[in-house]
Protein backbone atom coordinates (compact mmCIF):
# COMPACT_ATOMS: atom_id res chain seq x y z
CA UNK A 1 0.00 0.00 0.00
CA UNK A 2 2.87 2.38 0.79
CA UNK A 3 3.71 2.77 -2.82
CA UNK A 4 6.03 5.73 -2.88
CA UNK A 5 8.29 4.19 -5.45
CA UNK A 6 9.43 7.46 -6.96
CA UNK A 7 11.62 6.13 -9.80
CA UNK A 8 8.55 4.72 -11.49
CA UNK A 9 6.67 7.97 -11.03
CA UNK A 10 9.56 10.01 -12.32
CA UNK A 11 9.89 7.70 -15.28
CA UNK A 12 6.24 8.25 -16.10
CA UNK A 13 6.79 12.00 -16.14
CA UNK A 14 9.84 11.70 -18.35
CA UNK A 15 7.94 9.33 -20.53
CA UNK A 16 5.12 11.86 -20.83
CA UNK A 17 7.54 14.50 -22.01
CA UNK A 18 9.02 12.08 -24.49
CA UNK A 19 5.54 11.32 -25.72
CA UNK A 20 4.99 14.98 -26.53
CA UNK A 21 8.30 15.19 -28.31
CA UNK A 22 8.38 11.90 -30.14
CA UNK A 23 4.85 10.46 -29.97
CA UNK A 24 6.64 7.17 -29.41
CA UNK A 25 6.05 6.12 -25.82
CA UNK A 26 4.24 2.83 -25.45
CA UNK A 27 2.09 2.11 -22.44
CA UNK A 28 4.25 -0.88 -21.66
CA UNK A 29 7.34 1.24 -21.15
CA UNK A 30 5.65 3.36 -18.52
CA UNK A 31 4.23 0.48 -16.52
CA UNK A 32 5.64 0.30 -12.99
CA UNK A 33 4.65 -3.37 -12.71
CA UNK A 34 8.04 -4.87 -13.41
CA UNK A 35 9.99 -2.49 -11.18
CA UNK A 36 7.84 -2.20 -8.09
CA UNK A 37 7.63 -5.91 -7.30
CA UNK A 38 11.29 -6.30 -6.50
CA UNK A 39 11.04 -4.18 -3.34
CA UNK A 40 8.58 -6.58 -1.66
CA UNK A 41 9.55 -7.26 1.97
CA UNK A 42 9.98 -10.61 3.73
CA UNK A 43 7.89 -13.60 2.77
CA UNK A 44 5.93 -11.89 0.04
CA UNK A 45 6.49 -14.65 -2.50
CA UNK A 46 3.36 -15.65 -4.36
CA UNK A 47 2.31 -18.94 -2.78
CA UNK A 48 -0.68 -19.66 -4.97
CA UNK A 49 -0.62 -23.00 -6.78
CA UNK A 50 0.85 -22.46 -10.23
CA UNK A 51 -2.46 -23.46 -11.80
CA UNK A 52 -4.21 -20.52 -10.12
CA UNK A 53 -1.76 -18.02 -11.61
CA UNK A 54 -1.70 -19.28 -15.19
CA UNK A 55 -4.25 -18.57 -17.91
CA UNK A 56 -4.32 -19.40 -21.60
CA UNK A 57 -5.76 -17.08 -24.23
CA UNK A 58 -7.05 -17.85 -27.72
CA UNK A 59 -6.47 -21.57 -27.38
CA UNK A 60 -7.05 -23.51 -30.58
CA UNK A 61 -6.32 -26.88 -32.16
CA UNK A 62 -5.57 -27.62 -35.79
CA UNK A 63 -8.21 -29.86 -37.33
CA UNK A 64 -6.98 -33.34 -38.28
CA UNK A 65 -8.16 -36.77 -39.37
CA UNK A 66 -8.29 -39.96 -37.35
CA UNK A 67 -4.81 -41.47 -36.69
CA UNK A 68 -3.09 -38.21 -37.62
CA UNK A 69 -1.15 -35.96 -35.30
CA UNK A 70 -2.05 -32.37 -34.53
CA UNK A 71 -1.30 -29.69 -31.97
CA UNK A 72 -2.82 -27.12 -29.63
CA UNK A 73 -1.75 -23.47 -29.51
CA UNK A 74 -2.46 -20.35 -27.48
CA UNK A 75 -0.84 -17.77 -25.23
CA UNK A 76 -0.01 -18.85 -21.67
CA UNK A 77 0.21 -16.04 -19.10
CA UNK A 78 1.59 -16.26 -15.58
CA UNK A 79 0.40 -13.64 -13.05
CA UNK A 80 2.60 -15.01 -10.25
CA UNK A 81 5.97 -13.75 -9.03
CA UNK A 82 7.22 -17.32 -9.46
CA UNK A 83 7.95 -19.19 -12.67
CA UNK A 84 5.24 -21.74 -13.56
CA UNK A 85 6.40 -25.08 -14.90
CA UNK A 86 3.97 -27.21 -16.93
CA UNK A 87 5.22 -30.78 -16.77
CA UNK A 88 2.48 -32.68 -18.59
CA UNK A 89 -0.82 -32.34 -20.38
CA UNK A 90 -3.81 -34.56 -21.07
CA UNK A 91 -6.86 -34.02 -23.24
CA UNK A 92 -10.10 -35.56 -24.39
CA UNK A 93 -8.72 -35.73 -27.95
CA UNK A 94 -6.08 -38.42 -27.49
CA UNK A 95 -4.24 -40.34 -24.77
CA UNK A 96 -0.97 -39.58 -26.59
CA UNK A 97 0.13 -36.08 -25.65
CA UNK A 98 3.52 -34.37 -25.41
CA UNK A 99 4.91 -30.89 -24.75
CA UNK A 100 6.91 -29.96 -27.86
CA UNK A 101 9.46 -27.40 -28.92
CA UNK A 102 10.68 -26.70 -32.46
CA UNK A 103 14.45 -26.55 -32.91
CA UNK A 104 17.08 -26.82 -35.64
CA UNK A 105 18.63 -30.27 -35.89
CA UNK A 106 22.25 -31.07 -36.83
CA UNK A 107 21.57 -30.39 -40.52
CA UNK A 108 19.79 -27.11 -39.85
CA UNK A 109 16.32 -28.46 -40.53
CA UNK A 110 13.58 -27.31 -38.16
CA UNK A 111 12.12 -30.26 -36.29
CA UNK A 112 9.85 -30.63 -33.32
CA UNK A 113 10.59 -32.74 -30.28
CA UNK A 114 9.51 -33.25 -26.71
CA UNK A 115 10.83 -30.40 -24.56
CA UNK A 116 12.95 -31.48 -21.61
CA UNK A 117 11.55 -30.30 -18.30
CA UNK A 118 8.29 -29.08 -19.84
CA UNK A 119 7.17 -25.50 -20.50
CA UNK A 120 8.34 -22.74 -18.15
CA UNK A 121 6.15 -19.63 -18.10
CA UNK A 122 8.29 -16.90 -16.56
CA UNK A 123 7.10 -15.00 -13.48
CA UNK A 124 4.72 -12.25 -14.60
CA UNK A 125 5.42 -13.31 -18.16
CA UNK A 126 4.06 -15.12 -21.16
CA UNK A 127 4.81 -18.30 -23.07
CA UNK A 128 3.53 -18.56 -26.61
CA UNK A 129 2.34 -21.79 -28.19
CA UNK A 130 2.26 -21.33 -31.96
CA UNK A 131 2.84 -23.15 -35.25
CA UNK A 132 6.57 -23.65 -35.89
CA UNK A 133 7.24 -22.97 -32.20
CA UNK A 134 6.30 -24.50 -28.88
CA UNK A 135 3.08 -26.47 -28.92
CA UNK A 136 1.01 -29.13 -27.22
CA UNK A 137 1.43 -32.24 -29.38
CA UNK A 138 -1.54 -34.51 -29.89
CA UNK A 139 -0.69 -37.85 -31.51
CA UNK A 140 -2.52 -40.90 -32.79
CA UNK A 141 -5.96 -39.30 -32.82
CA UNK A 142 -8.56 -41.99 -32.03
CA UNK A 143 -11.09 -39.89 -33.95
CA UNK A 144 -10.99 -36.87 -36.25
CA UNK A 145 -11.05 -33.41 -34.69
CA UNK A 146 -13.11 -31.07 -36.84
CA UNK A 147 -13.48 -27.31 -37.05
CA UNK A 148 -15.87 -25.89 -34.46
CA UNK A 149 -15.37 -28.72 -32.01
CA UNK A 150 -14.25 -27.95 -28.43
CA UNK A 151 -11.46 -29.98 -26.86
CA UNK A 152 -10.75 -29.94 -23.13
CA UNK A 153 -7.17 -30.03 -21.90
CA UNK A 154 -5.70 -30.42 -18.44
CA UNK A 155 -2.31 -28.90 -17.71
CA UNK A 156 -0.32 -30.35 -14.84
CA UNK A 157 2.25 -28.15 -13.10
CA UNK A 158 5.43 -29.11 -11.26
CA UNK A 159 3.76 -28.33 -7.91
CA UNK A 160 1.04 -30.89 -8.69
CA UNK A 161 -1.70 -28.35 -9.36
CA UNK A 162 -3.80 -28.70 -12.51
CA UNK A 163 -5.76 -26.36 -14.75
CA UNK A 164 -8.34 -27.23 -17.37
CA UNK A 165 -8.91 -25.18 -20.49
CA UNK A 166 -10.96 -25.54 -23.63
CA UNK A 167 -9.62 -25.02 -27.13
CA UNK A 168 -11.64 -24.70 -30.31
CA UNK A 169 -10.70 -26.66 -33.41
CA UNK A 170 -9.89 -24.64 -36.54
CA UNK A 171 -8.90 -25.57 -40.07
CA UNK A 172 -5.31 -24.47 -40.61
CA UNK A 173 -2.94 -25.17 -43.51
CA UNK A 174 0.35 -24.80 -41.60
CA UNK A 175 1.84 -26.52 -38.56
CA UNK A 176 3.21 -29.43 -40.58
CA UNK A 177 6.54 -29.55 -38.79
CA UNK A 178 8.57 -32.71 -39.11
CA UNK A 179 8.83 -34.82 -36.04
CA UNK A 180 12.39 -35.31 -34.80
CA UNK A 181 13.25 -38.93 -35.63
CA UNK A 182 15.30 -39.24 -32.46
CA UNK A 183 12.16 -39.16 -30.35
CA UNK A 184 9.13 -41.37 -30.63
CA UNK A 185 10.27 -43.86 -33.25
CA UNK A 186 10.65 -46.49 -30.57
CA UNK A 187 6.88 -46.48 -30.40
CA UNK A 188 5.40 -48.25 -33.41
CA UNK A 189 2.10 -46.58 -32.61
CA UNK A 190 3.56 -43.22 -33.66
CA UNK A 191 4.63 -44.28 -37.11
CA UNK A 192 1.32 -44.03 -38.93
CA UNK A 193 0.74 -40.57 -37.52
CA UNK A 194 4.23 -39.47 -38.51
CA UNK A 195 3.77 -40.58 -42.10
CA UNK A 196 0.51 -38.73 -42.30
CA UNK A 197 2.19 -35.58 -41.00
CA UNK A 198 4.92 -35.86 -43.60
CA UNK A 199 2.45 -36.17 -46.43
CA UNK A 200 1.10 -32.78 -45.45
CA UNK A 201 -2.66 -33.27 -45.64
CU1 LIG B 1 5.00 -31.56 -32.11
Output the CA–CA distances (angstroms, integers) from residue 124 to 16, 81, 169, in the order listed: 25, 6, 28
| CA 96 to ligand 1 center in whole angstroms | 11
Rounded to whole angstroms, the Cα distance separating 111 from 193 reads: 15
| CA 16 to ligand 1 center in whole angstroms | 45
pLDDT band (50, 70, 90) for residue 180: low
CA 149 to mean position of chain CA atoms = 21
Query: For 97-146, how does the pLDDT look when each residue is reduced to its tens digit (9 = 90+)?
Result: 999 999 999 999 999 999 999 999 999 999 999 999 999 999 999 999 99
| CA 160 to ligand 1 center in whole angstroms | 24
| CA 139 to ligand 1 center in whole angstroms | 9
Query: For 24-83, how does the pLDDT look when each residue is reduced to its tens digit (9 = 90+)?
Result: 434 444 444 444 444 444 455 678 999 999 999 999 999 999 999 999 999 999 999 999
DSSP state of 64: B
| CA 104 to ligand 1 center in whole angstroms | 13
What domains sit in the chain, N to C, each tagged with a CATH number? 60-178+188-198 (2.60.40.1890)
- pLDDT score recorded for residue 47: 83
Burial class (CB in 10 A: 0-12, 13-18, 19+), 71: buried
Amino acid sequence: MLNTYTPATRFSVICGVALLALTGCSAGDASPASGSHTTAPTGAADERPAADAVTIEEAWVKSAEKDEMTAAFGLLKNSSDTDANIVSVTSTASPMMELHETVANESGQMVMREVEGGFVIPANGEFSLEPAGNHIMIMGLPAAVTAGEDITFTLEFADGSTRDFTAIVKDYAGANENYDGGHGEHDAHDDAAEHDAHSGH
